[in-house]
Amino acid sequence: MKIVITGGAGFLGGALARRLLDAGTCAVGGVDAEVTELVLADVHPPASDLGEDPRVTVSTGPLGDDTGLLAGAGLVFHLAGVVSSAAEADFDLGMRTNVDGLRWVLERCRAEPAPPVLVFTSSLAVYGSDPAMAPVTAVDDDTLPRPQSSYGVQKFIGEQLVADYTRKGFVRGRSVRLMTVVVRPGRPNAAASSFLSGIVREPLAGERATCPVPPDTPVALSSPARTLDGILRAAAVDDSSWGSTTAMNLPALTTTPREMVEALDRVADGRPSELVDWRDDPAVGAIVRAWPARFETARARALGLQPEQRFEDIVRAYLDEVR
């Protein structure tokens, strides 16, 4: 089967590609399929080890440039997008990438003789605390999204587009709302939540990091491995098991930056927490505090998905990967 990953050169896209290539097979809509061709589409080329795999085809450039990108694909993972702070700072870029880019993918899927399975990665940013209403405390599968950022609005629009194209039979869509993924390797990106990886990653490397929100700010996290589990599970199940076209919240571990750095000290040598500087940034804080931090994900649990139980386990997994 031909599988396409948009955003295939990114952190999650690359990790997803490696998992698919290592397995050699992938469950798609209730049927096991061999990974015969894996297309990695991004504005940047993927890591060299991925590009050298004979099963991998690389498509470099903006979505829309490669008109044959999705031809013959049985499964599409749409991970490409502009992240939260960048979408807030550049409204036109966010709309062009997060909305128009998804619409292009959906139209290419619609043109296929058989509708492919499409997994769209949305975000917890679709939720927010409307200043005219009571604050959102806990979120369950029926909580109404009220995004309070351009990024959240764009992701919510994307969910509705996927749902309607699925209702019309143009695509077999599954939207999953990702929690903040920690720990991301590499350098910080433009996401408002990027510091949550930074306050772990940089101290472990002996570098200083800044936390722009108060230490006891609650946040919802997931590890890279559990996030990939959710993405792949969405692709794997048949249409009946997936059920509603409404987006599904992936499981979350609720914690705080203070608890995160305390866990860091328990797992790592020395006291890496002493390398974290606490400097409140009102702009970042306003975005992060608008996101809910407590989730009840019964629908995901019914599909066998569970959150991490301790942040220490996430830190240990990251250290094992780095080593």
DSSP string, 122-133: EEGGG----TTS
Residue at 197 is within a domain: no
Residue 65 lies in a domain: no
Could you tell me if residue 228 is inside a domain? yes
Burial of residue 45, with CB atoms counted within 10 A of its CB: 0-12 exposed, 13-18 middle, 19 or more buried: middle
Q: How far is CA 156 from CA 109, 242, 264, in A?
A: 20, 19, 34
The per-residue pLDDT for 222 is 97
List Cβ neighbours of 14 (8 Å cut-off, separation of 6 or more): 8, 46, 47, 50
Q: What is the C-alpha separation between 292 and 33, in angstroms, rounded?
A: 37
DSSP letters of 191-238?
-TTTHHHHHHHHHHTT--EEE-S-TT--EEEE-HHHHHHHHHHHHHS-
For position 301, what pLDDT does the model report? 97
pLDDT at 186: 81
Residue closest to 261 by CA, chosen among 321, 219, 322, 320:
219
323 residues of the chain, pLDDT tens digit each: 999 999 999 999 999 999 999 999 999 999 999 999 999 999 999 999 999 999 999 999 999 999 999 999 999 999 999 988 889 899 999 999 999 999 999 999 999 999 999 999 999 999 988 888 887 788 999 999 999 899 999 999 999 999 999 999 999 999 999 999 999 988 777 677 899 999 999 999 999 999 999 999 999 999 999 999 999 999 999 999 999 999 999 999 999 999 999 999 999 988 999 999 999 998 888 888 888 899 999 999 999 999 999 999 999 999 988 87
Whether the CB-CB separation of 271 and 181 falls below 8 Å is answered with: no
Query: Looking only at Cα atoms, what is the longest distance across the chain?
Result: 59
Give 182: exposed, middle or buried? Use CB within 10 Å, 0-12, 13-18, 19+: buried
pLDDT value of residue 133: 84
DSSP designation for 273: G
Could you tell me the CATH number of the domain that includes residue 126?
Answer: 3.40.50.720
Res 187: pLDDT: 78
Distance from C-alpha of 258 to C-alpha of 147, rounded to nearest angstrom: 26
Report if residue 195 sits inside a domain.
no
- Is residue 236 in a domain? yes
Instruction: Determine the structural domain holding residue 232 and report its residue range.
Output: 81-179+222-251+295-307
User: What CA–CA distance (Å, rounded) separates 189 from 200?
Assistant: 15
Q: Mind telling me the catalytic residues? A: 151
* pTM for this model (two decimals): 0.94
pLDDT at 204: 93
Number of domains in the chain: 1
Structural contact between residues 165 and 115, judged by C-beta atoms closer than 8 angstroms: no
Domain membership flag for residue 288 = no
Residue 145 is assigned to a structural domain of this protein:
yes
Note whether residue 174 is domain-resident.
yes
